[in-house]
Chains A and B, each alone.
Chain A
Amino acid sequence: MAEKKFVVASFDDEAVLFPAVKQVRRAGYKIHDVYTPMPVHGLDAALGLRDTSLHTAGFFYGLAGTCTALGFITWALTYDWPLNFGGKPFFALPAWIPITFEMTVLFSAVGMVLTFCYLCQLAPFVKKDHFHPRATDDLFVMAIECTDKTNEGEVSDFLNGLGAKEVNTQIKETGWWIGSYADDKKPFQKQVQAVS
């Protein structure tokens, strides 16, 4: 667990945020993240983030569901305990389609949601540091990571010039810890770490 120093700028309009992101990246500053109250289409591309592979994971979870259901039913009804239902074949594939389909959907959905929670570190009692309480309300909050060489005043002026409503410097934890939002206690010591 390490804390880092950030210059944090808040914007109140996407139309200002987009050019600002472009300028900041062009100037060579490292954007830690941008926190938005709603999904802003195109912002991931503007930040240079690669597309998520969550869909692909979902496909394989679904495939696992198909195989599990078909494999298990085949084993149970043709090998383990074949039962004669009205003289129909033991391997009654058409009758297994509904359950196979449902299991495909179930595996895919549950798998994807768990993967999503894992990747985004989302779980009950997970607590994280936030840069601005209004980042979930109406502000678009950009955090720029400071290094040894960063001149904070310079960055602040630069961000102000790009139309930021509010610029400040904050020391924040980048990881997560177990806690509720009801108190500010952290289970570890503060230790500012400069990043090179």
Chain B
Amino acid sequence: MALLKYESQVRPPLVEGNKDYHQVTEDICRPVEAAPSRLWWIGFLISVALLLFGVISVTREVWFGTGQWNLNKTVGWGWDITNFVWWVGIGHAGTLISAILLLFRQGWRTGVNRAAEAMTIFAVMCAGQFPIWHMGRVWNAFFTLPYPNTRGPLWVNFNSPLLWDVFAISTYFTVSLLFWYSGLIPDLATLRDRAKLKWRKMFYGVMAFGWTGSTKHWQRHEALSLVLAGLATPLVLSVHTIVSFDFATSVIPGWHTTIFPPYFVAGAIFSGFAMVQTLLLVTRKVLNLEDYITIEHIEVMNKVIVLTGSIVGIAYLTELFIAWYSYVDYEWFAFRYNRVDLSSPYGWSYYLMMGCNVLSPQIFWFRKMRRNIWVTFFMSILVNIGMWFERFVIIVTSLYRDYLPSSWSAYYTPTIWEVGFYLGTFGLFFTCYFLFSKFFPVIAIAEIKHILKKSGENYKEKMDVVEAEPVERFAHEHVH
């Protein structure tokens, strides 16, 4: 048995401090069972206020129509679709962490997967708002579904990328939710069995679905997690691929490129990890979970950020090169005069995007920077700004000058209600996250226990004996 638990001493421990199983339960359940702090209340109330501002903005949009926004003749997609793609992109890190890293057997995912998955679900909820309310006549939103109707029945256009989006986003949301919740059930049972107050027993009793921890149930649970991870892995890649098809299958210069799917997926993981960093750096501090979300976790995620940031950088340059090399006048015009030219109306946004996404993450080549919490936090914000501008650049700079110069639009700036809608989704996102961090364990308790004896600091120290074992004896015993 000892050898099964063996993990190289080269790997730093994933759980710090002297922990046993009970201590893990205590540490992670404490914030859920304690009264919310003043800081929590302040954050929560600010989020709710933002959410209300969003509700007002959306109500005005529904009441008066999309004229509440500054969208014009050529810029038909503006902040709304920019925000949609931005939020969907952020929603990719959670499933990446929970699914792809599960398949790759990355032990460090256990410290961050629960919060990242929750973040994914909330981000997808925010993303979904934009196309829905952008419809204008939102009461007809169900027209996007293929249901038997009295108009023929006239079916939806299954050949349209916009419809693929409906299916992709709703499937992604459903699968992420199932994955997240099935992982939560055992931890909710832990909370239920610890509950002292009646409402807690009731609440967690209902939420835990009667989980007992039976061996057979765990066996099925593991099988379920593994297959869901296997399904979610191509799913997460497909979702942003399909989002990129919204652009790539059109014939707008600047959009009509085959590089979009991998470029969007890399960008999505990039921005998603930045958002995970932003949230977890605060969460680990406020909830005293530094032993579980360690500097090692932060460093590993920074490595992912520098990798995906560089992929995105290569994609930007490839796109630019191909625009020139293809000799297509319109494509080259869009890049040369609408983006790269700093003196053009939106030239500044292109350089802001380049600076935030390509240049600034290169700082993470230095170990000292990767392990610096303040640098990481600052960078995570910068990356999110950069990734927002990436979508803004793609959408607005491709649209504001179309084929007919006489219809080139005036400078597009959002109205207060467009901004309000965006801030409102921040409100929704953080309101959900605050509630999640109060009522649910932000770290997967059972999964931490599962790796504790492999990667816990106090257990790793005792493993030196195994490491020191002579190679000959080890080979003799285990070669068969």
Do A and B come from the same complex?
yes
Return 12 A-B CB contacts under 8 Å, by A number. Answer: A36-B215, A37-B25, A38-B218, A38-B445, A76-B155, A88-B159, A98-B167, A123-B210, A124-B207, A137-B25, A181-B195, A182-B202
The answer to whether the Cβ of B245 comes within 8 Å of any Cβ in the partner chain is yes
Task: Tell me how far the C-beta of B248 lies from the nearest C-beta in chain A, rounded to whole angstroms.
Answer: 12
Which residue of chain A lies nearest to B446 when distances are taken between CB atoms in the complex?
A38
Q: How many A-B residue pairs have CB under 8 A?
A: 212
Closest to B161 in A: A98
- Which of B205, B227, B449 lies in contact with A180, CB distance below 8 A? B205
List A contacts of B221 (CB < 8 A): 39, 116, 120
Contact of A38 with B449 at beta-carbon distance under 8 Å, contacts A105-B234, A119-B220 already known = yes
- Chain A neighbourhood of B155, CB < 8 A: 76-77, 80-81
Contact with B along A59-81 (1 / 0, CB 8 A): 00010000000001100110011
A83-B157, A95-B158, A102-B167 known; A37-B212 Cβ under 8 A: no
B-binding residues in A (CB < 8 A): 12, 14-15, 18, 33-44, 47, 49, 51-52, 54-55, 58, 62, 72-73, 76-77, 80-81, 83, 85, 88, 92, 95-96, 98-99, 101-103, 105-106, 108-110, 112-113, 116-117, 119-128, 130, 133-138, 141, 176, 180-182
Interface: B328 (CB within 8 A): no
Q: Closest A-chain residue to B25, C-beta based?
A: A137
**Nearest CB in chain A to that of B20: its residue:** A138
Interface size grouping (class) on chain B: 35 or more
Q: When the two chains form their complex, are residues A92 and B213 in contact, meaning their CB atoms are under 8 A apart?
A: no
Distance (whole angstroms) from the CB of B363 to the closest CB of chain A: 37
Q: Which residues of chain A are near B238, meaning CB under 8 Å?
A: 98, 101-102
- Interface centre among B21, B157, B158, B206, by most A CB within 10 Å? B158
Are B215 and A34 in contact, with the CB atoms below 8 A? yes
Contact of A35 among B168, B202, B212, B453 (CB under 8 A): B212
A-facing mask of B189-210, CB < 8 A → 1, else 0? 1101111001101101111011
Known: A80-B155, A109-B174. A35 touches B213 (CB 8 A): yes
Query: Interface-forming stretch among B86-94, B118-126, B146-154, B412-420?
Result: B146-154
Let me know if B223 and A122 touch, CB within 8 A.
no
Closest 3 CB pairs of A and B: A181-B205, A138-B21, A126-B210
